[in-house]
Amino acid sequence: MKNGTKNGTRRTTLTLPINALIAAERIAEKRKVTLSVVVSEALEKNLHAEADAKREIERRMQAFEAGRRAFAGLTDEEMFLLDGVIMEPTDE
């Protein structure tokens, strides 16, 4: 045991909203697990969601930058063609 840790866990004291605590206790009772299990699962899930959201924003910005590079600096005529407008020379 180092710094009070045991099997990758550490005892601590938290102050939680009463409603959230009551809900967590009910889940623990229903699933026949400890309150610590329910709270740590919820915490891990939230932390993963936050990391996923951050990765998603990075992915979106990379996609946006790729889109900008695809069309940056094109002339109107070149952009027409990429917009699906196909113009042929006239004899006029």
CA distances from 43 to 24, 34, 50 (A): 12, 14, 11
CB nearer to another protein: pick between 1 and 66? 66
Q: Indicate which single residue of 4, 8, 17, 89 sits in contact with another protein (rule: CB under 8 A).
A: 89
Other beta carbons less than 10 A from residue 80's beta carbon: 13
CB nearer to another protein: pick between 47 and 63? 63
Q: Is 61 near another protein (CB under 8 A)?
A: yes
Check if the beta carbon of residue 22 is closer than 8 Å to that of residue 16: no
Name the token pair of 37.
């299990």
84 conformational bin, left if phi > 0, alpha if psi -120 to 50, beta if neither: left
Binding segment toward another protein, per CB under 8 A, in 2-10, 21-29, 41-49, 84-92 = 84-92
Shortest reach from residue 58's CB to another protein, in Å = 10
- Longest Cα–Cα distance of the chain, Å, equals 89
Q: Is 77 near another protein (CB under 8 A)?
A: yes
Q: Binding residues for another protein, per CB under 8 A?
A: 56-57, 60-67, 69-71, 77-78, 80-90, 92
